[in-house]
Structure 1
Amino acid sequence: MTWSFEVTPVDHPDAARLLREYLDEIASRFYERQVTDEELDAAIEKHHSRDLAPPTGAFLLAWRDGVLAGCAGLRVPTPGITELTRVFLRKSERGKGGAALLVAAAEDVARGLGATLIRLDTRDDLVEARALYARLGYETVEPFNEDPFAHHYFAKSLELPDRV
């Protein structure tokens, strides 16, 4: 299995397709029912991803063996700090080691954006995501926003250790 990651404009058709799949899944999971197309369209507009583009961020697409597999977004709210968001793998691509590689690729891009700290928030029901972040060295921190859908907050230093 070969994974690859590419910074891609958020308005690229592949990016738009994955963002729609992402919001469909997390909204349906939150409401414990399949959201309608109208609800999904409204969510996409309300929770747009236009800021996940230079200079305020970046958007990555993940590919496994040439197949579009997932995405991750980065937002720069303040110099030195980058927020990880929109981390998503298609169901068919889960359990193949891509999530940790996707987050690592996003961390590398965050460093390129000047980040020394990466942070994120997530919901109670996204237990798999919380376990992934804990496994990857993210630590629980105090809330840093007032998002009503955020229940857990994590951060990780991106400073590389001194090498001798």
Structure 2
Amino acid sequence: MLTIETALPGEPVAVSILRLYMSEVASRWYGRPATADEVDRALRDEPADDLTGETGVLLLALDDGEPVACAGARFRGEVAELTKVFTRPDARGRGIGRRLVEAVERACVDRRVAVVQLDTREELAEACALYERLGYRRVEAFNDEPYSDRWYRKDLVLRSA
């Protein structure tokens, strides 16, 4: 049974899926399987330790207790940054990524965050297609992230208080 749960970034279950995520991203960047050292460096360069409490949220999709996907958001005032969206290759095609992104959006609405934005790379084609299906629109660069070549934004509907 698939469940979506909030996790702390340092928990072993979260560390395992975040490591798989970064391994895939780094491997696509290098055009070959990334080494353990390269993955470690990427995890240091793009930490997830702020995806908890007042600064963010990290959600995991668990299939019978096994982590199969993750997604998070960093809260920056009235804007949230969608990050760490990943589904293990053996779990793709089941709508898990969509469910996770929608759960992150609900967490943003619950915190009264009206805008979600993200940066990514064209070579992460599956992710780009997912964002566009979910109503994210491409926008001009809003940061100078060296590994990004696409930027997206979605305006959320906040419920009346």
When the two structures are superposed, what TM-score results if normalisation uses the length of structure 1?
A: 0.91
Alignment equivalent of 2:129, drawn from 128, 131, 135? 131
Q: What is the rounded CA distance, in whole Å, between the counterparts of 1:158 and 1:65 in structure 2?
A: 31
Q: What is the rounded CA distance, in whole Å, between the counterparts of 1:43 and 1:100 in structure 2?
A: 25
Q: What is the rounded CA distance, in whole Å, between the counterparts of 1:42 and 1:57 in structure 2?
A: 22
Q: What is the rounded CA distance, in whole Å, between the counterparts of 2:103 and 2:141 in structure 1?
A: 25
Q: Secondary structure at the match of 1:52?
A: coil
Q: Secondary structure at the match of 1:71?
A: strand
1:59 match: 58
Please report how far the alpha carbon of residue 161 of structure 1 lies from its aligned counterpart in structure 2 after TM superposition. Answer: 7.5
Matches within 5 A, 1:85-164: 85-160=83-158
Moved over 6 A (4+): none
Map Cα deviations across residues 74-105 of structure 1 (whole Å, 9 max, x no partner).
1012x111010000111111001111111101
What amino acid does structure 2 have at the position aligned with 1:72? A
Q: Percent of aligned positions with the same letter in both sequences?
A: 40
Q: Secondary structure at the match of 1:26?
A: helix
Q: Over aligned residues, Cα RMSD in angstroms?
A: 1.5
Map Cα deviations across residues 13-56 of structure 1 (whole Å, 9 max, x no partner).
11111111100011001111111111111111121111111111
| Greater CA drift, 47-56 or 13-22 | 47-56
Map Cα deviations across residues 120-145 of structure 1 (whole Å, 9 max, x no partner).
11102011111111111111112111
Q: What is the rounded CA distance, in whole Å, between the counterparts of 1:43 and 1:95 in structure 2?
A: 27
Map Cα deviations across residues 47-67 of structure 1 (whole Å, 9 max, x no partner).
111111111111111123443
Q: What is the rounded CA distance, in whole Å, between the counterparts of 1:65 and 1:97 in structure 2?
A: 16
1:41 match: 40
1:26 match: 25
When the two structures are superposed, what TM-score results if normalisation uses the length of structure 2?
A: 0.93
What amino acid does structure 2 have at the position aligned with 1:48? P
Q: What is the rounded CA distance, in whole Å, between the counterparts of 1:31 and 1:104 in structure 2?
A: 30
Please report how far the alpha carbon of residue 113 of structure 1 lies from its aligned counterpart in structure 2 after TM superposition. Answer: 2.6
Q: What is the rounded CA distance, in whole Å, between the counterparts of 1:90 and 1:18 in structure 2?
A: 8
What amino acid does structure 2 have at the position aligned with 1:124? E
Structure 2 unaligned regions, length at least 5: none
Structure 1 unaligned regions, length at least 5: none
